[in-house]
Structures are given as structure tokens and as C-alpha cells.
Structure 1
């Protein structure tokens, strides 16, 4: 079977798709991971015969990481809509054309729900598709949509929050989607709500989250599979610099905010370093503008699976992939959420006992971060809870369960 897997976004979004693709390729299928060109080496290093790469010229991480993109993300709801139309829409037709070309010969497409790419490709080419969720996005009465930063709205309110987010997505994307369908895919306007249509058609959903982190809601239908995280079989070796730094002293604290860029990166770096020193910890700082010191190492892109098990704690933005990597490593986590589903993951970490209460990036101070880091590395209960959870997550095989769910 020829399978196309669409991986939009950062490394945290792409690496699980690569792991899933490698698992399917290991079962004898021909798999193409369609992702930003910068992740070609990530796909090639995954290794099994049958795993290919479909590079995209449109790079979502480059958009988000630019000065214009960061101003857009910080602009609030009205500014976000305006920015979406000025930043994202001009690239949409090119992106859709690249995705269409990469998936045209596939027998099955695995795609995220946003933009309903799986539905459009299925309608155009006739192949079945399945949905990929990196946070629990199927409606439930148990908790609100992870994009709604509230712990609960009550049973009916929780379920309604999913309809609200999906309707908002339709308002934001509807005009763009129909233009792309007509100009690029040769299709008529979208009829009806693609989310409701997928549920009515019982399109399989693979949710790449562990049931040890988010329990499966009892009101989810059978075609929604909570598989566990999707990890590569092998962690990448550490680069010489981080390896030497780790060997030279006690375990440090990792601090990195993924594709999120603080409003004042230099000031944030100074705050982080002062907080780590106050807590008595060395630090590994990822993509933060700090000149470095004997007790602080600054690094660029790195494989969290190889790095996190060797640190005392991880401090990050709360992206779904980074959160999963920290929990799987069995080390305490401090989440400093920016927006989106990040507050949801910060709350989950705290409720699991694997870290302190989240510290929103807008409230980051030396005192607040130092207190949370000290709690993470010194509190015995937190360290034990994180270690036990890590053992359970490392025992899972989410890739196998996902492939089994699809009958691959």
C-alpha cells in the first residue's frame, strides 16, 4: 500500500509522523512523509526501506519564527484573523499544490484535521483517509477542547467547546479553503462542516497521546483510537558539545521554547539564567540568545529523546510533542505556556504530579521560575511521579497500536 502522511508545522509535529511512517514502512508499505524541506534529514535518518520524503517549499516554522509571524501570534483574536489573511493566505495555494502532487498516487492519506486536507484529497483522488490528532480533539463531555484555556465548562459546555472551535476554524478558513479547492484542486465549494462529515463517515482518528497522560473519555466512539505517543525506534546520538557538557557536571536543567519566540528573547534569556543560578542548577538553553558560560550551554536543534533523559528537569512552552518527550524521559517538567493547547498540557503535567503548576510566559520572572525549578528538582514526590510515568510511557508502543488500528 502507498501511504502519504502530512506533517505540517515544527519538529514536534513532524517527528511523530516520521515515527508513524517508519512503523508502516517496516510492515512493507511504501510511505511518503510530506513535510517542510528542512526535515528531510529527519526522514532519511529514520531508515527503513520504503520510507520516502515529499518536501514542501512552504515552511510553517519559518513563518512562525519570523518577526512578522511572532507579531501575528501575539496580536490577539482580531489581529490573528487579519494576520492570517495577510501572512498565511498568500502561501496557501502553493502549499495545496505541493501537497496534492505529493499525495496524488497514494492509496491512503493520514492528515491533521486542520484545513480538512484529507477530505479534499479523498474527494479529488478517491483514496480513503484518516485523521491525526496530536492533542485529544474529539468532542467529549469530560474536558473542554484543549484550545480553550479552561479546566472545565461542565459536561454540556465541554462538548460544546469543540463545536465552537470547529465553527471558528470554519469562519477563519472557509473562504480560503473554497478558493484553494477551485483554483488548485479543481473541486467545487465545500458543502457542510468537514468535521461533522468526517464523524458521520466514521473516518478513523489516530490520537497520538498516551492514555496514561489523558485517559480515554468514555463517550468517544470506537473509530477514535488513543494509541499512545509515536516515537522513533532509536534516539539520535548527542552532538559532542552537549555530550561533553553533560559529562562535565551534575545533570542540568533544559530550557527551550520550541518554535515560540518570546517578545524580548534577550531579556527572557537573562531571566532564565538568573533563575537557574538562583536554583543552584546548570542549564542547557535551546535557541535562546545568551553568550554561554561555564554553567550554561546554548544549543540549537536537538533530539529531545536523546537529551531529556540526561537532564534534571525540562522547562518548555508546553507543545504536545515536547511535553510527551519530557514525560517519557521520566524527568520533572515546568511548562511556560504561550497560547493554543499549551495551557492544557501544563495543567495535565501538574495534575499528574510530574511538575509544578504552569508558569505562563507573560508571568515569567526570576523568582517565579526559580521557585518552580527548585520544586521540580528537589521535591521527592514530583521526581518519583515523573519517573514512574516515564516508565509507563516507555513501555508503550503507540506506533504499533496506530498501525494495528488502521489494519496496516
Structure 2
């Protein structure tokens, strides 16, 4: 079976799907990624095909984080999505039997699947189906949220997102020769309606499945990026930890990890001194990941690194400080490491709050309010308050019992069989 995984955005929007693709591949299926050229090397390193999607994800993130006007953000996002829709259609036409789509591209993928007569399924890294149990990421419920306000807030969030696709979806439908009614159907499926199957790559230990979700919508458990440290990975034989990193870890107590992943592109010069000051105030050592911010921090107690697999690095850390993206948050919890969340945008405040509510880290420090004083105090608290590590370890044990990729594999094969 030829499976196309559609995912776009930041590295954290793509990397987890390499592990899911490995599981599908091991079951005998051919997997191709429809994603940005930025991630082509990472995808090909796992042995998967790449069908390149148009657009620059860094420009999209800059537009949403640089204080531009709301109109400018809308314009950049709409242009990005418009080009993306055409790209998904062209990618699927290269030979596809089933489409699996991440959250942001799901309305486009649903429409393309309908136009080409293909089965499709949502594979989301964040919840996007309104429910009574919690407000969706990006929502603004009243107070702590009641069942009514949680659902209403979630529906308002989807309504705001709908506006971004208002011109894109009809244009794509015309390109595919579909009637106007297909646009509404694609939108309803994106929301978990009309029986469209959706699996969330989130552990029920971190976010229990709401009881009022439709039966086709599940909380499957995490699927993890394929990394060089994973037994049986196609990448295993090529990677060893940098000697400089090994030496730094051996030279003192476990350090703290700091990194913002694909967030804050180009802000390394401003963030570097702040991080050095925060680490000094906390009384810890630190490993700082350069990321798209271009961080380059030096000092006796600080080491800057490039990409290092989180599954190798995080268990060796006293705590992890990051932007609270879905994948990085999951990696920190999987490692049993206390988390200091510094959310920037999108679903990150949701995961930051969830970590705090679960007792796996202190209160989040929003990126827009970041200071050396606040960050240093949060790091010190995360390291010294033993309850955070104890709770993180409990969650790590429960997360380790999940098999999210296996659950998706079974659903995909059932879906293909039902539509054969």
C-alpha cells in the first residue's frame, strides 16, 4: 500500500511522523512524505520518499512572532495555505493509495482525497475536536472553563481557523473538479465529524480522551521521531554523541537543557545573554541547542550544541527548558525530566499549561514575558523541587506503555480494507 503522510510547518511538525512512517514501512507499506524541502534530508535519511511542498515555514513563523499586524499575518498565512493546497494535490497525484494528514493540512488533504477518490485519515499531534472536557489549543475559555465554555471556546477557535481557508478550499475544489458542497464536507471532517477517522499522537496519560468525542476519534498514544539511537533505526550506525558533549556531561552534575527548536528564528543574539544570566542565577550548568534561533552561547557552565536526539539527551538532563511544542513536550515527559515551558505561539501555551497541571514542572514563563530573573528562578525551582521529577517519572512510565504508532497502523489497514 502506498501511504502519503502530509505534514508541514516546523521541524516539530514533521519529525514525529518519521517514527510512524517506520512502523508503517516495517508492515510492508511504502511511505512518502509531502513536506517542505527544509526537512527533505531528515525524511530521506529514514529511507522515505519526499514529495516537496511549496512554502517557507520559517517565513510563516516569523510573520506570526515578529509583532506584525494582524492583517499581515492573515495575508502571509493565506498565501502559504493556498500554495500548500496545490502542492498536496500534486504530491498525491504521484501515486497514492491512502493519505494521512497532520492537523494544519487536514482540510486540504480531505479535499484532495475526495477529489482523487482516496481514503484518508487525520493523524494529529494536538487535539482539534471540540469537547466538554477541555478547551482546544488556542482557545480562550472563561476562567477554568465549564463544559459549555470548553466546547464553545473550541468551536470559536475552529471558526477563526476557518477564515484562513475561506478562499483556499473553494479554489482547490475547483482545481479538483469537485462541487462546492465538498468544501463544507472537508471542513466538517477536519472537526471530527461525518465519521472521518482521527488518531491523536498524544498519550492518554498526558491528556485523557474526552468521553464525548465521536467513536472515530481516538487518543492513540505518542509516536516518536525516528532517531539515531533507536534500535533497528536506519540511522543507528551513523551517529555518536559529539565528544565535546560527552566531556561536558562528565565534567559535573547533570545540566539543564535549553532550546526553542524552530521558534524565535534569528533571535539568538538577543536571547544568548539572557540565557547566560538565567543559568548563572539558577546555579546550574546548561546545554543550549542552537535551533532556528541561532543560539551560540559560551561559558564555563554552558555548552552550545546542534541537533542531538532528544531521546538520548533529555534523560541526562536535570530539567528541560523549551518552547512547549507538542513533540518536545512529549520528549521531555518521556525522559522523566522536569519541564520549564516557555511557550511562544500556536498550541504551545496549551501544552505548557498541561505540564504544569500534571505537576511535571513549575508555572510556564511565556516567551513574551521572558527575563533572566524569571527564567533563572523557574530553572532553580524545577531542579530543586523533587516533586516535579517524581511526577515526571510517573508519567514517563505510563507513556512507555503506549503504542501510538501500532494503533495507527491497525486503523490505516482497516481503513484501506474497508474502502478496497
Aligned length: 396
Q: Name the CA shift for 1:233/1:318 in 2 (closer, same or farther; >3 Å).
A: closer
Alignment of structure 1 residues 60-209 onto 2, 5 Å: 60=57, 62-64=58-60, 69-75=61-67, 79-85=69-75, 87-104=76-93, 105-115=95-105, 116-150=107-141, 152-182=144-174, 184-189=175-180, 191-192=183-184, 194-197=186-189, 199-209=192-202
Residue 286 (structure 1) aligned with residue 289 (structure 2): yes
1:391–1:37: structure 2 CA closer, same or farther, 3 Å change rule? same
Contact 1:332 1:376 in 2 (8 A): yes
SS at 1:114 equivalent: coil
Please, which runs of 5 or more residues in structure 2 have no aligned partner?
Answer: 230-238, 415-420
The range that moved more, 232-241 or 296-305, is 232-241
RMSD over equivalenced CA pairs, Å: 2.3
Q: How does 1:6-405 map to 2 (within 5 A)?
A: 6-47=6-47, 51-60=48-57, 62-64=58-60, 69-75=61-67, 79-85=69-75, 87-104=76-93, 105-115=95-105, 116-150=107-141, 152-182=144-174, 184-189=175-180, 191-192=183-184, 194-197=186-189, 199-232=192-225, 234-236=227-229, 237=239, 238-261=241-264, 265-287=268-290, 288-405=294-411
Report the secondary structure of 2:22's partner residue. Answer: helix
Indicate how the Cα distance of structure 1 residues 81 and 244 shifts in structure 2: closer, same or farther if over 3 A, else same: farther
What secondary structure is seen at the aligned counterpart in 2 of 1:257? Answer: coil
Task: Tell me the alpha carbon deviations over residues 11-54 of structure 1, each in whole angstroms, 9 at most, x when there is no partner.
Answer: 2111121111111111111111222223223223335xxx4322
Bigger drift between 342-351 and 297-306 goes to: 297-306
Q: Deviation string for 1:155-183 (max 9, x for gaps)?
A: 1111112221221112222113323443x
Give per-residue Cα distances to partners, 1:253-311, cap 9 Å, x unaligned: 11111222189543322122111112111111122533412221112333222221111
Q: Distance in 1 between matches of 2:19 and 2:344?
A: 27
Question: What SS is found at the alignment partner of 1:33?
Answer: strand
- Report the alpha carbon displacement of residue 376 of structure 1 after superposing the two structures with TM: 0.9
* In 2, Cα distance between equivalents of 1:309 and 1:143: 30
Classify the secondary structure of the residue corresponding to 2:85: helix
TM-score by length of 2: 0.87
Which range moved further: 291-300 or 320-329?
291-300
Contact 1:262 1:268 in 2 (8 A): no
SS at match of 1:250: coil
State how far apart, in whole Å, the 2-side matches of 1:348 and 1:197 are.
Answer: 26
Is the contact made by 1:4 and 1:106 (CA closer than 8 Å) also made in structure 2?
A: yes
TM-score by length of 1: 0.89
Q: Deviations over 1:171-202 (max 9, x none)?
A: 222113323443x4444545426332454421
State whether residues 149 and 343 of structure 1, in contact with CA within 8 Å, keep that contact through their aligned partners in structure 2: no
| Comparing 112-121 and 5-14, the one that deviates more | 112-121
Which runs of no fewer than 5 residues in structure 1 stay unpaired?
A: none
Alignment check: 8 A CA contact 2:272 2:297 kept: no
Residues 371/246 of structure 1: CA separation in 2 closer, same or farther (3 Å cut): same
Paired with 1:88 and 1:217, the residues of 2 have a C-alpha distance of: 30
Q: Aligned equivalents of 2:269 and 2:18: distance in 1? A: 33
Q: 1:365 to 1:92 in 2, by over 3 A?
A: closer
How has the CA–CA distance of structure 1 residues 140 and 41 changed in structure 2, closer, same or farther, with 3 Å as cutoff?
A: same
